[in-house]
Amino acid sequence: MKTIALILARGGSKGIPNKNLQMVAGIPLLEYSINAAKYSNVDEVWISTDSSHIKTLSKSFGINVIDRPNELAKDTSPSEDALLHFAENEDFDVLVFIQPTSPLLRPLYINEGIEMLKDYDSVFSAYKEHWLPRWSLGGLPINFDNNDRPRRQDKDEVYVENGAFYITTKGRLLNSRVRVSGNIGVYEMPFGDSFQVDTWEDLKLLEKLV
């Protein structure tokens, strides 16, 4: 069984220009995900990118690169498009899809997620969340009745995808066309390591965490 880690790292980003190359504690953001994958039990690490700068950086770390067509690297392009492009062009059995916006991902989490494929068809990482009252931007309660406000203890906990990784097989990806399918397992990561970078504020906070 050949297990591949694939990191999707396109060049464009509206929220943070060149987000994947932004320096965090002296290291490009992308390098954190590369290191997590390199020191895990995967057989190969690949980057899918449309950026010549990301391609050069990745190759300097000895990482394989697949050139992503521009039409698959737009702001509106689903990640599944790039995953399917990779699956249709490269040989592997198990795919670990890693997002570079989750820099606190550890090799151990990847390894344990892969082990879960013994019992599940696909696996994704998440953290456990206690119930919290949520309001719309229009000031209306979303998940509770404001006139009969529940206690946190009376509401079920839920899993929240943290976006760190998704694991599936090549066959399932090509057949389902989605990142996880079949009997899906949830790998619970600590909330503290589930941090995602989407804004400049996130980058500043990450500097304090690493």
pLDDT at 91 over 90: yes
Region 65-77: what's the mean pLDDT?
86
Tens digit of each residue's pLDDT (9 = 90 or more) over 128-144: 998 889 999 999 999 88
Q: Are 81 and 72 in contact (CB under 8 A)?
A: yes
Between residues 66 and 154, the one the model is more confident about = 66
pTM metric for this prediction: 0.91
Residue 203 phi, psi (nearest 5):
-60, -40
Q: How far apart are CA 51 and CA 43, in angstroms?
A: 24
pLDDT at 210 over 80: no
Tens digit of each residue's pLDDT (9 = 90 or more) over 12-31: 766 787 889 888 888 999 99
Domain residue spans of the chain: 3-126+160-209
CATH architecture, domain 3-126+160-209: Alpha-Beta Complex (3.90)
pLDDT at 74: 81
pLDDT at 70: 82
Strands 64-67 and 94-98: unpaired
pLDDT at 11: 81
Q: Are 19 and 28 in contact (CB under 8 A)?
A: no
The percent of residues in the chain predicted with pLDDT above 90, rounded, is: 68
Measured torsion, CA atoms of residues 167, 193, 65, 201, in degrees rounded to the nearest 10: 130
Question: CA distances (Å), 88 to each of 75, 108, 147, in order?
Answer: 22, 28, 53
Tens digit of each residue's pLDDT (9 = 90 or more) over 157-171: 899 999 999 999 999
Q: What is the set of active-site residues?
A: 149
pLDDT at 155 over 90: no
Tens digit of each residue's pLDDT (9 = 90 or more) over 171-206: 999 999 999 999 999 999 999 999 888 888 888 888
Apex 24 CA angle, 23 and 27, nearest 5: 65
